[in-house]
Amino acid sequence: MLPTILVIEDNEINMDLVIFLLRSMDMVVLPALNGPAGLAMAKKLRPSIILCDIQMPELDGFAVLNALRGNAKFANIPVVALTALAMDGDRERMLAAGFDGYLSKPIDLEELQLEIRTQLASIASGLTYR
């Protein structure tokens, strides 16, 4: 089965880019344009990996992460932060907040491929304990 990637991103231009890149990697993409829609899709469709924007109205990326981690059924899905805040220390801040990975925007194909490969490998090896 092809990996299914849920993308939660409120900017449609960024969303279109990420969808295009993931499809070029033979991934099935589930797009959600806000946090509540993303959470609903995560619960219904159980994606392999979630890519989640940080800055969103209603529920931001941290709130989405906390909602997933607070539910034992979804706590093991890797969640990768997508952020425009490309500042020193961002990666550490996102990992400390509980994200499994970090990608800064604009998303780069090679970095995205590496991150997806890393997350799929950690799922396959059973290293995603929480």
Q: Show Cβ contacts of residue 11 under 8 Å, excluding neighbours closer than 6 positions.
A: 53
Beta bridge partners of 5: 29, 49
- Cα gap 43→109, rounded to integer Å: 27
Smallest distance, Å, CB 108 to Mn ion? 18
Q: Binding segment for Mn ion among 3-11, 73-81, 98-106, 110-118 (CB under 5 A)?
A: 3-11
Q: Binding segment for Mn ion among 16-24, 54-62, 68-76, 87-95 (CB under 5 A)?
A: 54-62
Residue 100 in contact with Mn ion, rule: CB under 5 A: no
Residue 106 in contact with Mn ion, rule: CB under 5 A: no
Residue 10 in contact with Mn ion, rule: CB under 5 A: yes
Residue 55 in contact with Mn ion, rule: CB under 5 A: yes
Structure tokens of 24? 């070029």
- Give the type of residue at 80: V
Q: Show Cβ contacts of residue 57 under 8 Å, excluding neighbours closer than 6 positions.
A: 10, 34
Q: Binding segment for Mn ion among 6-14, 30-38, 67-75, 94-102 (CB under 5 A)?
A: 6-14
The residues that touch Mn ion, with contacts defined as CB under 5 A, are 10, 53, 55-56
